[in-house]
Structure 1
């Protein structure tokens, strides 16, 4: 992540500045320490930027982990609903014709058919 590289660069710069102060002759050391302190107490100081960047990286990592977990849960729920049952009807059974042959002089009367039953089969969605 770019932000991690930027924070890393700021940390290296801060480390080099500290080394520079350590290697400075005693006569100039006080002056360099004052410059560093002035910069460190600033709202936009390198130390403040490092802290903000580190906090942001941690927060983004937590959001990333939460999002990945939610995505895994959604995927798991989707997989479990792939085998839901839907009624399947054989249309040829519904529209069977009943042929009644009437002899001369017979009434048509009432023709009874067995009740229809619906069978359910699992449907696999992809």
Structure 2
């Protein structure tokens, strides 16, 4: 989420590192801590949907922007190279990877939800083609 946020600031023409303005607070403690801080300070925060739904100390926080394709946060999966890391359990890792991109794995990913809200949108088939 942090890298996605930096990309959004860059696209807006704002260099957070160079700005050094007191209005921007970098928490550096994870999304739950960022949400707690934003709630306490009545501030804006960029959050992933899963953390937001699991977070109960929202105070006056509410979602103000959602659905914009620039907020899309792609997850990926890759197998660690066993030649470079001999202790890795390559066969179970490959089985897990194969399951994740299988129709069954993609269905499980798509059906995962919190309070009826879908959190992940599988697209392995799109990436394979």
Aligning the two structures, in what range does the TM-score lie when normalised by the shorter sequence? Answer: under 0.3
- Report which structure shows greater RCO (CA 8 Å, sep ≥6): 1
Higher helix share: 1
TM-score by length of 2: 0.24
TM-score by length of 1: 0.25
Question: Which has the larger Rg?
Answer: 1
